[in-house]
Amino acid sequence: MSADRNLEPDFLTIGKAIGGGIPTGTFGMTQEIADKIKQMVELEIIDTGGIGGTLAGNALSLAAMRATLTLVLTQPNFDHMIDLGTRWSDGVDAAIEAFDLPWSCNRLGARAEYIFSKIAPVTGADANNAGDFELEQYIHLRMLNDGFLITPFHNMALMCPATTSGDVDAHSKAFYAMCGDLVS
């Protein structure tokens, strides 16, 4: 249960992340939801009901999930990635503050995102209003030219176990220089 939002989820879906990017996925649900689905699904049509198919349970996907869950998604790796996510965000925040930009950095563990609003969005409307298409295009191209691929559908970075402090510090330096160029 999410303590801060008082949520009690009844369904969970996980996509490619559980297989380290290999096309796979999984889902889980409460017993109550499982019982309702079971009442509605006939075993003869289970595959046409979207719960299976050609790629369901294939060896590559299963091996990728096992490797991801046992070798990648470990507490030491999470500790490392979260520390680097904080370091990355601190670097972004330092540049934003140094150049007095009306932006912020949204943080969530190993994930961080540039937001073009002083206050992090709370609603979908806030997120929409914090967008700046031309600025995003510039930042993506500029950072790519400086050696950093920022998630193209967000302004986001996600640390991985192979990310180093040097990688993060190099991004902070490039982001700082880009911000300086934008205000000059």
Q: What is the mean pLDDT of residues 130-147?
A: 92
* pLDDT at 99 > cutoff 60: yes
pLDDT at 14: 86
Q: How many CA atoms lie within 13 A of 120 on its CB side?
A: 8
Where in the sequence is the domain holding 24, given as residue range(s)?
11-72
Q: What is the CATH number of the domain that holds 144?
A: 3.90.1150.10
Q: What is the mean pLDDT of residues 78-91?
A: 97
Q: In this structure, are 91 and 178 located in the same domain?
A: yes
Q: In this structure, are 100 and 166 located in the same domain?
A: yes
Q: In this structure, are 115 and 177 located in the same domain?
A: yes
